[in-house]
Structure 1
Amino acid sequence: MAAVPVPPPPLLASHAAVRAAASAVSRSRRGRLTGDHPPQVAALRRGDWVKLICGASFEDAADVRNLSLVYTLAGVDCIDCAADASVVGAVNEGIDVAASIIPAIQRPWVMVSVNDDCRDLHFRKAEFDPEECPPDCSKPCEKVCPADAISLGHIMVDEHTQSDGKLKGGVLTERCYGCGRCLPVCPYEKIRAVSYVRDPANTSKLLKRNDVDAIEIHTTGKETDTFHALWNSLSESIDNVKLVAVSLPDIGESTIDFMNALYAIMEPHLQGYNLWQLDGRPMSGDIGRGATKETISFSVRMASVSKRPPGFYQLAGGTNSYTIDCLKKADLFQSMTFPGTAISETTISQQALIGGIAYGGYARKIVGRTLHKLPSQFSHARLEDHPDHLLEALQEALSLVGPVKGYPALRSVS
């Protein structure tokens, strides 16, 4: 069972602007029809579901907490995080603070991410010994890291001399989420990637908590045996969650057959809803317009296939501010039928072909710009203690969530 959360302290009067913006989000959401479905499922059916990906390997609890606070206020439907008890606690703490600002706010589902084998890129960490680095290294790894997870420097004895001339620091393990951008830039090839698999026993314990709502299983599309083994190990706890998601890459013509094989494994023990995360170009959304092309291409092909397995479909991998425009150009944004299909030729779907979008690196980047403005002594501060920064972070989050949710008026909140 989850620990009883500690009530947050009274909020400052200067949160008025934050309350105004978040209240507008909450009112807009309450005006949407959900039928007999939970609000999160209704969003998937309409095609306006938004998920925040904190990172399957990102374990900086302070940042996760603040990200969860901001994006809950912005109205996301789900927050995906590492399958780690302290990280899950940080997500829920952020959600609790958002609920203390807007008591009527819709709480997003909390999802934990696991993998079925060690080949998935989302489950690795960079590693190197800083003392093996030449003292005069230009430190390109530090410059390219999007998570600020590498810190290198010299330890000074006094203002004139260094301790031994060697570099100190290295990879901040809890911040590294395995993007791999540091690997090719090291001029001395000192950096290596260390992969791992989440412990199924610990995952089962998390699924039995009352503050975890969903699970996502990452698979590489290589084989079904490892997926089957993980699924069996979770069989006693999987029925505690409302949603089971499977994240997989585009493996070409065999993708549909592979997905149908996974669904056949899951179906006997699948009690809730299921979702397929189409992972076009993993961990690249913060790069630019080109990063989203692969996930759009993936979604177009999946939407056109009539024999795809049941469940909702959601984009990830390369998603950013350009993704919606690309979806619209493909006529797949909140579309119920595939473009060019005559209504007389098909049964009209009761749900969108693409249920929504998951934002990861890009979502963290735009809010991180605000978090980095906090004075250095407040780098791990509670964001709600700095209302001006909280409002700025919320405006950034709304610029991403608002276009999916259809809240254009909220984008210019001040």
Structure 2
Amino acid sequence: MSLRFSCNSTSFPQQHQVRGNLKSSKNLDKVRNLVKTVGVPSLTSSPLESLRRGNWVKLICGASFEDVVDIRNLSLVYTLAGVDCIDCAADLAVVSAVNDGIESARDIVGLRRPWVMISVNDDEDLHFRKAEFDPEDCPLDCSRPCEIVCPASAISLNEGNSTLEVSDGTNASRVLKGGVITERCYGCGRCFPVCPYDNIRVVTYIRDTTATADLIKRNGIDAVEIHTSGRQSAFFEELWDGLGDSISHLRLIAVSLPNVGDSTISSMNTMYSIMEPNLPCFNLWQLDGRPMSGDIGRGATRESIAFAVRLAAVKDRPPGFLQLAGGTNAHTVDGLKKMGLFQTTSITKNSKDEILTASLPNSLHALIGGIAYGGYARKIVGRVLSSMQSQYGVALIEDYPEHLLEALREALALVGTVKSYDPF
């Protein structure tokens, strides 16, 4: 099932737009001191400089994740941690949530503003789908494995009365209620194979190009990322043409693609030839190694590193920064260092075709521009957000400084592996 979604015009809830005089709050002094102690980039360090040096970090909120409260709090925490870019769904309410989180962080500490990126797709894509099922089709004694495996807590089931009318005067039968919390589902797909009754369906969608172009023209969006399979250049060209003059408003255009083997470079060159005549800014290639798997474990990052190793050594690839994604986690930087690709400018190989490159920190032209973190980044901070919400309900994280401090420590530990922060 495939749908075409327009950008949501719903604004971010008003109660989350009002920010107090946070700079005068002594309760946030520990947060300010921590940011200053570790050396988070100041106003003089731009996202573009980070790409050139190889220490760019992007937070992926999720192309289909639309829980605006979590997105707002995640954006605040990771802005304080010094990310260069925050990638989110092409939805007005979501973009507003990201920008609100960014500005709330800057009210606490005067950091430079990370770029805001929206994600779109040119065809069916794993990142643009939702799970769907009718909980009343599930037996009451189901072990509910879908709830257990969902990394986003996007499935909630509980018992209730059936909605079917009872004509004989008997009590309504008991059934399962709830199901998928649509705004929290980001389409990871882990629930599909575990359902013992095969009840879960996939709903895929394509972002409406006209609505996306209108959204880009609004203030608060700096970059766009096009997710593509790399196999259908006609779909890519149609999307690119549909964006029209909206791209003139952008600072960066990214293309996210999987490793399609020997045809990867030719696909990249074809897409670049489509973009080049009207490319108004820098471009970036997101190497999507193992999509939506960074939170699974250490081994998930191997495919993204292998993808980077392969492309970094190719001389005829098109212009553009390279950035890792798909399976990235706390072990990604170590993997890049082992392959000699962390903040390096050139590649040399020995007789066994193994890469031998000395690390050159702060290089102005790094082969790998940086790393994007999605599921893993959301998981480590999400634990803190869940704890806070279980105690206080829907809340702004800066209203609970101890939780903010805990979340910030988690974010700094991850971002710091790329940014080389001082220990804390």
TM-score for the superposition, normalised by structure 1? 0.91
Secondary structure of residue in 1 paired with 2:184:
coil
What one-letter code is carried by the residue in structure 2 that aligns with 1:146? P
Runs of 4 or more above 6 Å deviation: 1-5
Is 1:222 aligned to residue 231 of structure 2?
Answer: yes
Partner of 1:10: 21
What is the number of equivalent residue pairs in this alignment? 394
CA distance in structure 1 between the partners assigned to 2:218 and 2:237 by the alignment: 23
Does the Cα contact within 8 Å between 2:43 and 2:112 map onto a contact in 1? no
Q: How does 1:309-328 map to 2 (within 5 A)?
A: 309-328=318-337
Partner of 1:346: none
Is 1:306 aligned to residue 306 of structure 2?
Answer: no
CA distance in structure 2 between the partners assigned to 1:74 and 1:227 by the alignment: 34
Evaluate the alpha carbon distance shift between residue 67 and residue 31 of structure 1 in structure 2; reply closer, same or farther with a 3 A threshold.
closer
Partner of 1:180: 189
Partner of 2:285: 276
Deviation (angstroms), 1:23: 2.9
Does the Cα contact within 8 Å between 1:331 and 1:339 map onto a contact in 2? no
Evaluate the alpha carbon distance shift between residue 48 and residue 350 of structure 1 in structure 2; reply closer, same or farther with a 3 A threshold.
closer
CA distance in structure 1 between the partners assigned to 2:252 and 2:374 by the alignment: 19
CA distance in structure 1 between the partners assigned to 2:40 and 2:67 by the alignment: 32
What one-letter code is carried by the residue in structure 2 that aligns with 1:129? D
Cα deviation code 1:101-154 (max 9, x no counterpart): 01x201100000000012x10000000000100111010000000000000110
Is 1:356 aligned to residue 363 of structure 2?
Answer: no
CA distance in structure 2 between the partners assigned to 1:291 and 1:218 by the alignment: 20
Secondary structure of residue in 1 paired with 2:387:
coil
Q: How does 1:88-167 map to 2 (within 5 A)?
A: 88-102=95-109, 104-118=110-124, 120-155=125-160, 164-167=173-176
Does the Cα contact within 8 Å between 2:54 and 2:367 map onto a contact in 1? yes
Is 1:56 aligned to residue 63 of structure 2?
Answer: yes
Does the Cα contact within 8 Å between 2:269 and 2:318 map onto a contact in 1? yes
CA distance in structure 2 between the partners assigned to 1:288 and 1:74 by the alignment: 23
Partner of 1:189: 198
Is 1:233 aligned to residue 246 of structure 2?
Answer: no
Secondary structure of residue in 1 paired with 2:312:
helix
Partner of 1:70: 77
Partner of 1:291: 300
CA distance in structure 2 between the partners assigned to 1:270 and 1:153 by the alignment: 51
Partner of 1:389: 403
CA distance in structure 1 between the partners assigned to 2:398 and 2:367 by the alignment: 38
Percent of pairs identical after alignment? 60
Secondary structure of residue in 2 paired with 1:234:
helix
Secondary structure of residue in 1 paired with 2:388:
coil
Deviation (angstroms), 1:22: 2.0
Partner of 2:379: 365
Does the Cα contact within 8 Å between 1:274 and 1:312 map onto a contact in 2? yes
What one-letter code is carried by the residue in structure 2 that aligns with 1:14? N
Cα deviation code 1:193-251 (max 9, x no counterpart): 11000011111111111200000000012210000000000022011110000000000
Which residue among 261, 271, 281 is the counterpart of 1:262? 271
Which deviates the most, 214-223 or 16-25? 16-25
CA distance in structure 1 between the partners assigned to 2:393 and 2:207 by the alignment: 29
Partner of 1:20: 33
Does the Cα contact within 8 Å between 1:125 and 1:178 map onto a contact in 2? yes
CA distance in structure 2 between the partners assigned to 1:295 and 1:186 by the alignment: 29
CA distance in structure 1 between the partners assigned to 2:201 and 2:348 by the alignment: 45
Secondary structure of residue in 2 paired with 1:394:
helix
Does the Cα contact within 8 Å between 1:116 and 1:230 map onto a contact in 2? yes
Partner of 2:48: 41
CA distance in structure 1 between the partners assigned to 2:28 and 2:218 by the alignment: 32
Which deviates the most, 368-377 or 393-402? 368-377
Does the Cα contact within 8 Å between 1:215 and 1:243 map onto a contact in 2? yes
CA distance in structure 1 between the partners assigned to 2:257 and 2:84 by the alignment: 21
Evaluate the alpha carbon distance shift between residue 23 and residue 163 of structure 1 in structure 2; reply closer, same or farther with a 3 A threshold.
farther
CA distance in structure 2 between the partners assigned to 1:190 and 1:31 by the alignment: 51
CA distance in structure 2 between the partners assigned to 1:44 and 1:388 by the alignment: 32
Does the Cα contact within 8 Å between 1:114 and 1:198 map onto a contact in 2? yes
> What root-mean-square deviation, in Å, do the aligned CA atoms of Structure 1 and Structure 2 show?
2.2
Deviation (angstroms), 1:7: 4.8
Deviation (angstroms), 1:156: 7.1
Does the Cα contact within 8 Å between 2:119 and 2:224 map onto a contact in 1? yes
Which deviates the most, 198-207 or 44-53? 198-207
Cα deviation code 1:319-338 (max 9, x no counterpart): 00010010000000001111
Does the Cα contact within 8 Å between 1:63 and 1:380 map onto a contact in 2? no
Partner of 2:352: none
What one-letter code is carried by the residue in structure 1 that aligns with 2:367? L
Partner of 1:29: 41
Does the Cα contact within 8 Å between 2:389 and 2:395 map onto a contact in 1? no
CA distance in structure 2 between the partners assigned to 1:243 and 1:151 by the alignment: 38
Deviation (angstroms), 1:165: 1.3
What one-letter code is carried by the residue in structure 1 that aligns with 2:139? P
Does the Cα contact within 8 Å between 1:14 and 1:387 map onto a contact in 2? yes
CA distance in structure 1 between the partners assigned to 2:356 and 2:417 by the alignment: 28
CA distance in structure 2 between the partners assigned to 1:307 and 1:180 by the alignment: 35
Secondary structure of residue in 1 paired with 2:178:
strand
